[in-house]
Amino acid sequence: MKKMLIVFSFLGFVYACNNETSSDKTSGTESTTKTTTDNGNPSYDPERGAGKFTNVDVKPELDKVMAEAGLKVYDVKCGSCHKLTDEKLVGPGWKGVTTRHKPEWIMNFVTNVDEMLNKDPKAMAQLELCLVRMPNQNLTDDDARHVYEFMRKNDGVK
Amino acid sequence: MNSSKRMLTILLALVALQWMSCKPKGASNAAAGGSAEKAYVAPGKYDEFYNFVSGGFSGQMSVYGLPSGRLFRVIPVFSVDPEKGYGYSEESKPMLMTSNGFVPWDDLHHVSFSQTNGEIDGRWTFGNGNNTPRVARIDNKTFRTAEIIEIPNSAGNHSSPFITENSEYLVAGTRFSIPVGDNQDVPIESYKDNFKGVISFISIGKEHGEMDIAFQLLLPGVNFDLSRAGKGPSHGWFFFSCYNSEQANTLLEVNASQRDKDFILAVNWKKAEEYLKAGKGVKKQVRYAHNTWDEKTHSAKHEIRTEVTVLDPAILKDICYFIPCPKSPHGCDTDPTGEYIVGSGKLAAIIPVFSFTKIQKAIADKTYDGEYGGIPVIKYEAALHGEVKKPGLGPLHTEFDDKGNAYTSFFVSSEIVKWNVKSLEVLDRVPTYYSIGHLSIPGGDTRKPWGKYVVAYNKITKDRYLPTGPELTQSAQIFDISGDKMQLILDFPTIGEPHYAGSMPASLIKDKSVKIFKIDENQHPYAAKGEKESKVVREGNKIHVYMTSIRSHFAPDNIEGVKLGDEVYFHVTNLEQDWDVPHGFAIKGALNAELLIMPGETQTLKWVPEKVGVFPFYCTDFCSALHQEMQGYLRVSPAGSNVPLSFSLGKKGADAAEKPASK
Ligand SMILES: [Cu+2]
């Protein structure tokens, strides 16, 4: 029960941050914030994030091979900081992450960390919570896709 | 008093005068000069050249930007370096192994770049270790020492590591001649009979740059000083300056300055290759170290080699020729056309310039002046293109621009003199601040110099910067040479003694620079690729900790069950895959040092606990907002205690309480 409460307040905080992004709250953090308003920059889609992935083809059912490959990447490059539960370690737990973000957003985030952390309202709100900039772990495009599939598996997709 | 002695006395008196007045003539101008905007590189903008500067007695090489003079990096080469953990981590210790064992500090004098077609190709930088004779290869992709080879039959590897125009060879000529062979226990007085000067030709692998001693030349007992390969028409030849042709073995400052002329040695190395192929070499038993760094295992390997092939030019007559050169020559520099060889007699009042064409003719016509140690001596006039008259005092080293001009450093009169190679006419001179040793023009020793800057590397800095006790930094000065007149634009402090340097356009290196080591390619035997693989394993009294680090924790961060008498090996794998995010590792009371681990790399710290207790360890390289939290504890129990070996990360206090550690 206690855990649930923490999760709720956590989500609430993210949500709150989201709402007041960039207009005043984050103006002091990075000089690039001026380009990051949700609606100020029409070319930026906060659902998709900044990066090369614009349209990821995701089948309704799980791709087991990809998910297996994703687990391997997770073990080497992600597991130190992200639990598979909803518990925050260095970074947020992965439980439910595929329901919170579009695949494009996640894959852009893990391959284009620096720009996302400087620009994307949701990513910036996360940084305010975690206070450690996610390391760019130099994932390849395939790595990113595999990790995403593994995240889906973790979220119960069969 | 004969005339040469008188000259010497006058010269010495002049030198003394200079030193008494301390500031050489014109030094105040050097202090006042400057056109700073030409050296200004705005914050965030890049320099045009990388400048690799030897650290002299520091044993390291440092890398600066030109024209800003910014220090980018100190590359550890022949000396341990606490900033990088070089020579402290178990993996890097083998790099400093020699036939004498571990040598933690040496003297690095000269820098040389790999070349293709007589131009800098940007792949490798070489440096010499003077005291324990060695040559190192630095990989310009990582700015790290990739290989070190020791030089047998050599002492004071000064005439080194100069390179041929396709990186076929680089040389290692001995400064000190020594007894060579089976009986080395000879009277020092028997120098003339028993001492030999050996020059080594080190081959360089075409693909990976690996070094191997291809052959050695056995030469008379003189002191080899500097050298330069031929290029263009003189490709296939090598030139060495030498002093002490008197073959004195005591009080050399007087006894090695008796003759009006010493020598430049011209070596036909293509001929030597032929003799080598024809089996004219003699194999000698020796012992020397060959150490290599492997970027996949993140470890060095040390091996001892036991054989070299020696050629004797006194028997194989057409490999070597001496050319008389006034007087105690230091520099010996080939111009970009490959036709002219400039000798610089430290004690000479002129600069002789030799012609390769004339040298070839003299050899064909046998225009000799007898022999020296079995080697033909070419008549001075027969080899001479001409002399630069009254250039200054104490010429040391000459480099060239792309317009047919030479720039010579003058140690005694503290100045750089510009003169025309063909006409031998002096064109310009600028004071330096002061006692300049070597100088450097980007590509100034190749067929394609970038005649934009000349950098002076000075020995004395008195009055130049804020005082720092009895020792002052040494300094370099950058002059713009794009116009007719040299113009001082900046000076900057350097590390150790900036003995020699080379520069190359940033574009040759910048985009090839390694940013991370890929964790999937890490083949270190104790790597932990991911926290899942972190563990602690006991093997007898050795404890192997497979540890990972990532912003901002170690795994594991609590370790118990280590006992007095154990040796603990922390194998730390940095899981980061992001540029410029090393992690450090230090544990209280370690007698060795600390580690610095690059992204994707594994490095090992050996720690032998000497006390019972709990010892904190932490990350020494600021890595994130939670860097200060990047820490852990290791518990050491008495020998024979029954505390089980255990390790953990993130277990709750309650979990630990369930299984209280027994004593
Ligand atoms: Cu750290």
Q: What is the DSSP string of B86-97?
A: BTTSTTTGGGGE
* Residue B38 CB partners (closer than 8 Å, separation 6+): B67, B480, B487, B489, B490
Kindly report the CATH class assigned to B48-512: mainly beta
| Closest CA relative to residue B304, chosen from B616, B72, B94, B618 | B94
In the beta sheet, which residues pair with residue B354?
A: B341, B384
pLDDT at A78 over 70: yes
Residue B51 has what pLDDT? Answer: 98
Q: How far is A77 from chain B (nearest CA, A)?
A: 6
pLDDT in tens, B649-659: 987 544 444 44
Judge contact between B402 and B451, C-beta under 8 A. Answer: yes
Secondary structure string (H, E, C) spanning B412-426: CCCEEEEEECCCCCE
Judge contact between B321 and B237, C-beta under 8 A. Answer: no
pLDDT at B249 over 80: yes
Residue B345 has what pLDDT? Answer: 81
Residue B84 has what pLDDT? Answer: 92
Contact A135 B576 (CB under 8 A): yes
Q: Which residue has the tokens 């009080």?
A: B251
Chain B residues with CB under 8 Å of A136 CB are 577-579
My answer on whether omega of the bond before B67 falls inside 30° of 0, hence cis, is yes
Residue B16 has what pLDDT? Answer: 42
Selecting from A79, A81, A135 the residue whose C-beta is nearest the C-beta of B581 gives A135
- Mean pLDDT value across residues B323-343: 94
* Residue B369 CB partners (closer than 8 Å, separation 6+): B324, B377, B378, B379, B380
Chain B residues with CB under 8 Å of A75 CB are 529-532
Residue B410 has what pLDDT? Answer: 94
Chain B residues with CB under 8 Å of A138 CB are 516, 518, 577-578
pLDDT at B637 over 60: yes
pLDDT band, residue B34 (cuts 50/70/90)? low
CB atoms within 10 A of CB B261: 21
Q: What is the mean pLDDT of chain B?
A: 92
Q: Give the residue extent of every domain in chain B.
A: 48-512, 522-648
CATH code: domain B522-648 is 2.60.40.420
Residue B28 has what pLDDT? Answer: 52
Distance B101 CA to ligand 1 centre (A): 34
B27-31, B135-139, B146-150, B270-274: which range is least confident on average? B27-31
Please give the share of chain B, as a percent, with pLDDT higher than 90. Answer: 84
pLDDT in tens, A95-152: 999 999 999 999 999 999 999 999 999 999 999 988 888 989 999 999 999 999 999 9
pLDDT at A27 over 60: no
pLDDT in tens, B373-421: 999 999 999 999 999 999 998 899 999 999 999 999 999 899 999 999 9
Judge contact between B211 and B305, C-beta under 8 A. Answer: no
- Mean pLDDT value across residues B80-87: 94
Judge contact between B343 and B241, C-beta under 8 A. Answer: yes
pLDDT in tens, B351-381: 999 999 999 999 999 999 999 999 999 999 9
* Cα B267 from Cα B288, distance rounded (Å): 25
pLDDT band, residue A41 (cuts 50/70/90)? low
Selecting from A81, A133, A139 the residue whose C-beta is nearest the C-beta of B550 gives A81
Judge contact between A126 and A97, C-beta under 8 A. Answer: no
* Cα A40 from Cα A35, distance rounded (Å): 7
Q: Which residue has the tokens 């620079």?
A: B513
Chain B residues with CB under 8 Å of A135 CB are 550-551, 576-578, 581
Residue B445 has what pLDDT? Answer: 96
Residue B30 has what pLDDT? Answer: 55
Homologous superfamily (CATH) for A45-154: Cytochrome c-like domain (1.10.760.10)
pLDDT band, residue B182 (cuts 50/70/90)? confident
Distance B582 CA to ligand 1 centre (A): 7
User: How buried is residue B277: exposed, middle or buried, by Cβ count under 10 Å (0-12/13-18/19+)?
Assistant: exposed
Distance B624 CA to ligand 1 centre (A): 7
* Cα B431 from Cα A92, distance rounded (Å): 63
* Residue B345 CB partners (closer than 8 Å, separation 6+): B262, B325, B326, B327, B328, B329, B330, B351, B352, B395
Residue A38 has what pLDDT? Answer: 47
* Cα B80 from Cα B59, distance rounded (Å): 9
* Cα B205 from Cα B391, distance rounded (Å): 41
| Closest CA relative to residue B170, chosen from B232, B124, B220, B105 | B124
Contact B551 A79 (CB under 8 A): no
pLDDT in tens, B478-487: 999 999 999 9
Can you list the positions of beta strands (E) in B93-220? Answer: 97-98, 101-102, 108-116, 119-129, 134-139, 144-150, 169-173, 178-179, 195-204, 211-220
* Whether pTM exceeds 0.95: no
